Amino acid sequence: MRGAQFIVPLLAIMLLWKHISPILMLMVMALLLASILAPLVDFVESRLGGSRIGGVLAVYVTIISLIVAMASMLIPILIEEASDMASAFQGQSLETLAVSLKNSLTDVLPPDAYSYVEANMGTWLAKSGSFIQSLLGDLAGIMGKLFAMVMNMVLVLVFTFILLLESRNFKMKIIGAVPNAYFEMAMNLLHKIDGQVSGYLRGQGAAAATVGVLSTIGLYTLSWLLGVNIPYAFIIGMLAGFANLIPFIGPFVGMVPAILAYLMTPQLDGISAVVPVFIITMFLLVQMIDNFFVSPKIMSASVGMHPLVVIVVIMVGNSIMGPLGMLFAVPAFGVIRVTLEEVVWGLKAYHIL
Amino acid sequence: MFLDKYRSITQLKHMRNGIWENIFKRKNRELSETAFALRNVPIFSSLSKRELREIERLVHHREYTSGEVIFNHGDPGLGMYIIIKGTVQIVNNQDRDNIIVYSELGDGDFFGDLALVDDSDRSATAQSSGDTRLIAFFRPEMQAILTRFPALGNKIMVGLAEVIAQRLRKTNEYLIEVQQQAAEASPAPDSGSKAETA
């Protein structure tokens, strides 16, 4: 019975869902990573005369070497910025930070806006305090989570390695199980979905990297040109890059911390209202470069989403996985949408719908 | 008549005489059934054993029972099929009451090869008549070969171009033949008056 080979594993998955869902999540991540790396592995494989294992190993060694090289260059900057941040906050409660921010804002904001900020500062402070508390938890918890994260990353890399090596056999097995009536449709869909999803993910990754690098360069350039101190430029730039995965909201995620960092840092010539305007302009410029020059060239699929859809998706992501879910909800939704679009196309093209 | 010519082209096989058959007997024995079937298709006939094994890894094996549809008229074309064993009918079944059988293909024949070039809709329905074993080679795999092994991809494309060129040549010959037959059957309307004036 052909159906049994689908029903039995499906029932087993439903019964053991609680135990296997974390592993499934890692496998999904590995699947996404494999679909990003596959074209690179294919290219290297062809250069190595058709050795798949050689291609996969070469890509892995190159990527790991690049990560190690970048980490050895960037981690000292990150540690320096993080320790600067820690010493800036050391001995200061959120209240004292708020007072220094309020003092800075008196020079920058018009009186009406300032009185609004002053009136609401208490509420914002309470909210941000509880948010930070929930985010950090206790140190032991953080260390445990860090260890689990590293282990998960290693597992994802192992899964990705196997997927890259065996992807053709897996595909053959999946296609082999499809009934004759849907064979061509399944094959066509699998190919189209694979192309669209990997194109979408590569596009998102490239856009995030572009925004991250340009924002960091922009902040350093502003500091140098205006002769002001905008600290934590590297961390803020990276944050802006990651946040770019979230449309509409992402750009502000980099902009706001950059302005706050400037306002909360003692400046030689005092706080100037012009600098935040320059910071905003710089982030808008980065967004324009991304939207007009980078994304249209690299995005293979139409991924325009209504703002309302984005907000709902982010809320769903938050309820499922917390802050990390907020970050990856939109790309995950993008992948699901592209897949569904192709399935609908397939059903129509093969006269099933 | 046209369909017979079409069939003769799709059945193109390498002519081998007894001596050559003998010399290559040992080599042929080393080839699997799939690789052997592939080598007998003009598109893949120029491929080395190593290259045939590469293609062998990419083809799909399917089994059909009598009357099962392989692809329908109007479906987006995806690739070609080679018959390992059995019979496949190429039919026009748009009118359910009047099904026209264009061609009946047997062991070693291939069909659907134009879909390796583009995704135009299938121009006819293919269905098995009797238990049939097929191997399928699809455009995504063809494109992957062109990217990963350009030399091998080029060989296949040249083979495909040769098959299409030969088919076009035969079609042209057939058209000329039909035109000549039509001309002989009905003399030119003004030929009589021309003769009179001469």
Coil/strand/helix, residue B91: strand
Q: Is the pLDDT of residue A30 over 90?
A: no
On chain B, the residues whose CB falls within 8 A of the CB of A43 are: 147-148
Ranking A257-271, B2-16, B140-154 by mean pLDDT, the lowest is B2-16
Least Cα distance to A26 among A159, A170, A145 occurs for A159
Are the Cβ atoms of A181 and B150 closer than 8 angstroms? no
- State the DSSP code for B157: H
Which H or E run contains B15? none
Highest mean pLDDT (candidates A152-166, A235-249, B154-168) = B154-168
Q: What is the pLDDT of residues A275-309, one digit of tens each?
A: 889 999 999 999 888 878 877 766 544 456 677 78
**Residue whose tokens read 């009406």:** A112
Are the Cβ atoms of B60 and A42 closer than 8 angstroms? no
A87 pLDDT tier (thresholds 50, 70, 90): low
- B window 32-51, beta carbon within 8 A of A: none
Q: Is the pLDDT of residue A54 over 60?
A: yes
Q: What distances in angstroms separate CA B63 from CA A170, B28, B109, B127, B131, one per listed residue?
A: 20, 24, 16, 12, 7
Of B60, B76, B150, the CB nearest to A188: B76
The minimum CA-CA distance between A34 and chain B, rounded to whole Å, is: 16
Least Cα distance to A196 among B55, B136, B116, B140 occurs for B140
pLDDT for A3 equals: 59
pLDDT for B18 equals: 46
CA separation for the pair A145, A161 (Å, rounded): 24
Q: For residues A77-105, give the mean pLDDT.
A: 66
A52 pLDDT tier (thresholds 50, 70, 90): confident
Question: A-B interface: how many C-beta pairs under 8 angstroms?
Answer: 49
Q: What is the pLDDT of residues B44-98, one digit of tens each?
A: 999 999 899 889 988 999 999 999 999 999 999 999 999 999 999 999 988 888 8
Q: Are A238 and A212 in contact (CB under 8 A)?
A: yes
pLDDT for B133 equals: 96
Q: Is the pLDDT of residue A198 over 90?
A: no
pLDDT for A315 equals: 83
Are the Cβ atoms of A349 and B150 closer than 8 angstroms? no
Ranking A326-335, A337-346, B41-50, B80-89 by mean pLDDT, the lowest is A326-335
Coil/strand/helix, residue A272: coil
pLDDT for B159 equals: 95
The one-letter code for the residue type at B62 is: R
pLDDT for A82 equals: 66
B185 pLDDT tier (thresholds 50, 70, 90): confident
Q: Sign of the C-alpha dihedral, residues A76, A81, A87, A89?
A: negative
pLDDT for A227 equals: 84
CA separation for the pair A329, B175 (Å, rounded): 61
Q: Are A174 and A6 in contact (CB under 8 A)?
A: no
**Residue whose tokens read 């074209």:** A39
The minimum CA-CA distance between A40 and chain B, rounded to whole Å, is: 11
- B window 151-190, beta carbon within 8 A of A: none
On chain A, the residues whose CB falls within 8 A of the CB of B68 are: 180-181
Q: Is the pLDDT of residue B194 over 50?
A: no
The CATH architecture to which B2-180 belongs is Sandwich (2.60)
A69 pLDDT tier (thresholds 50, 70, 90): confident
Q: Is the pLDDT of residue A248 over 90?
A: no
Share of chain A above pLDDT 90, in %: 11
Tell me whether residue B117 is exposed, middle or buried, using C-beta atoms within 10 angstroms of its C-beta: 0 to 12, 13 to 18, 19 or more: middle
On chain B, the residues whose CB falls within 8 A of the CB of A45 are: 148
Q: Is the pLDDT of residue A10 over 70?
A: yes
pLDDT for B104 equals: 94
Residue B138 touches partner A, C-beta closer than 8 Å:
yes
Q: Is the pLDDT of residue A148 over 90?
A: no
CA separation for the pair A349, A249 (Å, rounded): 37
Of A43, A176, A188, the CB nearest to B78: A188
The minimum CA-CA distance between B188 and chain A, rounded to whole Å, is: 48
CA separation for the pair A346, A343 (Å, rounded): 5
Residue B146 touches partner A, C-beta closer than 8 Å:
no
pLDDT for B110 equals: 94
Q: Is the pLDDT of residue B15 over 50?
A: no
Q: Report chain A's mean pLDDT, rounded to a whole number.
A: 79
Q: For residues A305-333, give the mean pLDDT.
A: 76
For A177, the closest chain B residue by CA position comes to B62
A160 pLDDT tier (thresholds 50, 70, 90): very high
Q: Is the pLDDT of residue B138 over 50?
A: yes
Residue B148 touches partner A, C-beta closer than 8 Å:
yes
Least Cα distance to B138 among B158, B164, B163, B156 occurs for B156
Share of chain B above pLDDT 70, in %: 79
Residue B141 touches partner A, C-beta closer than 8 Å:
no
Higher pLDDT among residues A159 and A300, named by residue? A159
Ranking A314-328, B91-105, B148-162 by mean pLDDT, the lowest is A314-328
Are the Cβ atoms of B74 and A180 closer than 8 angstroms? no
With an 8 Å Cβ cutoff, the interface of chain A facing chain B consists of 42-43, 45-46, 50, 168, 172, 175-176, 180-181, 183-185, 187-188, 191, 349-351
Write phi, then psi, for B100 (nearest 5 degrees): -100, 125
